[in-house]
Amino acid sequence: MRFGNWQFFTATLAIAPLLALFLAWAWRSRQRRAARFVPARLLAMLTVSVSPRRQKLRLALVFLAFVLAGVALARPQWGFEYRQTKQRGLDIIVCIDTSKSMLAEDVAPNRLAKAKLAVLDLRRVAKSDRIGLVAFAGSAFMQMPMSTDDDVLRQNLEAIDTDLLPQGGTAITEAIHTARAAFKDSGLENHRAIVIFTDGEDHDGEAIEAAKKAGAEGAVVLTVGVGTTAGELIPIRDAKGRTSFVKDEAGNTVKSRLNEALLQEIAKAGNGFYVPLAGAGIIETLYERGLAPLPKREVESTPTQVYHERYQWFLGAALALLLAEMLVSDRRRPARSGAPAGAKASSLSAAAVVVALLVSLVPWRAQASASGARKNYDIGKYKTALAEYERLLENQPNDPALQYNAGSAAYQSGRFDAATDHFTSSLSTPDPKLQQHAYYNRGNSQARQGEEADDPGKKMDHWKKAVGDFESALKLSPADADARANLELVKKKIEELEKERQKQQKNDPNSKNEDKKDQEQKNQDKNGDKQQGDNSPDSKNDPKENQNSKKQQENQEKSDEQKKQDASSPDSQSGDKKDERQQPQPKPGEDKSGKDQQANSTQGSEPKDERDKKPGAAQGKEGAEGDAKDKENPEGAPMTGKVMQMTRKDAIRLLEALRAEERLLRPMPPQTNRAQRTIKNW
């Protein structure tokens, strides 16, 4: 077990004995005052029902409650788990010059100490960025890999000293190369920056070329000048505290100056800029001008131990002891049959307060918070986050931000229909940026619904809605490359679906004829219903009309006989062959029934209103006209003075209609599963 606040635990251990002595002294003092105030012979009579043991028990309960409350304030913890939190930030390598020239005191307290304080300020400003340390003098090495841990950075800064590297000098080139290698070893493709704290006394002369290479790899090189251009002597203190100054080989005292020109050239070669470490707010300016404008990506921090808080148990026990102390009486039995109403109400009120406090300790999850929902979303618990957002929406249904967050959680949970509804509700916001994001994400949700739909019609409907949403998002933000890419991809899927439909229709050459015949049959059925309605018992019967119907039947019988005669004649045979040549021929090895089977194979591609029609005989356009002519001439009298006979075409149409009546209802073919296609960011 560990404590989050050791100070409270230490204070509790120190105060507990004093409290025990105080309670014991108070009880004895009370007994002595009672003995002085009341005579001894009356005191026994007045305190006959008072129990000293109960009094001591109440004091012990108060003492234990205080101790447990102190332990609860110390935040006891046991048990832990590892958590990884995702955050957006940059990768920054800080290079610190540890050469002897950094001991110059032209800036207080000296150049090296000033640079360390500046790095701590940078850590404070760049809260979500990963920072690493490189120490360099005559050579360079990686002092600390990139991390977001503030304590680790502070410990490594304290370890940096001018005696850290045995080789003297200022090798800025080596520092840049070491930073480049650290970026490559991290294995993360993130935006990078190199910040160099130095006085600019480069001794190898290749720093500009190294900065160009770093800039070519996508890193930004920023230089921070430490010191003054006037310069200062370099002090050296021995073990006894005596001070001397660094001298060159000729015995002359060395005066170190800030080389701003070189640092400006290095920063320019690395696509950055130079700032002198002088005055207040320099690090804030450096971050706002050079680091904040860089795009930030999601980086996964290192796992951290998160201990479980257990203070609720101790605090609950303390409150329970206080409740017990109020319920325990000093007397062995009540002096009267009933206590006063005021005393009962007071004790019940106190008990109710304590019970309410105990209930408040229970970690109810009914209370949802936006921060808790966002925390669950960040760690990947999307379903839990969605449930919390929906509970929040019960009280704030018109909050566009909550609707948008709920849509995001629903999308990540795979509930694309709910995500679409939430994104639609978030469009009521006056914020154009939030509107653009809502359109974009609703388009993604519609596209995913289309991917999951089995019916091609539903696929097309969802994808067309997705196209509209992506176009709306582009109207609000024409520079959104993701929305444009997704729009093109969904349009491509729509074109592929259209081509697939057309291909299925082309594979069945009789589908169009069958559709046309079904439509004609529907019209004929309507006409037949109308005629049946006229012949119903409720309608008036006309003998003349009955006679016309009989004549029509006779004409039909004559047409059948004429067809037989035509079939036996050479002209009719040639006509039949011509008609057969006009029909689609079956493939080799396929029987005549292959036509019907081929028609059945494309039945699924027909529109729904046509597939639902009942199969039956359907007359063509000319056949319908023939019926109309028969109605116009019910008596069958010849209009040209000649006896009317059925033509060869009429006979063929009649046979086709009769053949269509004998067809069976074609079954729906099974739908084939199409390959799933991934869409950007879906």
Output the pLDDT for position 501.
Answer: 79
Rounded Cα distance, 11 and 310, in Å = 19
Confidence (pLDDT) at 304: 67
Q: What is the pLDDT of residue 112?
A: 92
In which residue ranges of the chain is pLDDT below 50?
Answer: 335-346, 359, 361-367, 511, 526, 528-551, 563-643, 662-682
Sheet with strand 219-225: strands edge to edge? 140-147, 130-136, 91-97, 192-198, 219-225, 274-276
Scanning the structure block, which residue is given the tokens 């120190």? 14
CB-based contacts of 333, cutoff 8 Å, min separation 6: 49
**Cα–Cα distance between 443 and 455 in angstroms, integer?**
19
CB 183 within 8 A of CB 93: yes
Contacts of 603 by beta carbon, 8 Å cutoff, 6+ apart: 611, 666, 667, 668, 669
- Report d(CA 402, CA 400) in Å as an integer: 5
The pLDDT score that the predictor gives to residue 120 is 93
Asked if residues 222 and 89 have their Cβ atoms less than 8 Å apart, the reply is no
DSSP letter assigned to residue 455: S
∠ CA 652-653-654, nearest 5°, is: 90
- DSSP H helices, 481-510, are 481-507
Cβ atoms 648, 572 nearer than 8 A: yes
User: Domains, the chain, ranges and CATH?
Assistant: 2-80+310-331+351-361 (no CATH), 86-300 (3.40.50.410), 370-507 (1.25.40.10)
Quote the pLDDT of residue 290. 87
In whole angstroms, what is the distance from residue 28 CA to residue 20 CA? 13
Decide: 8 and 74 in contact? Cβ < 8 Å.
yes
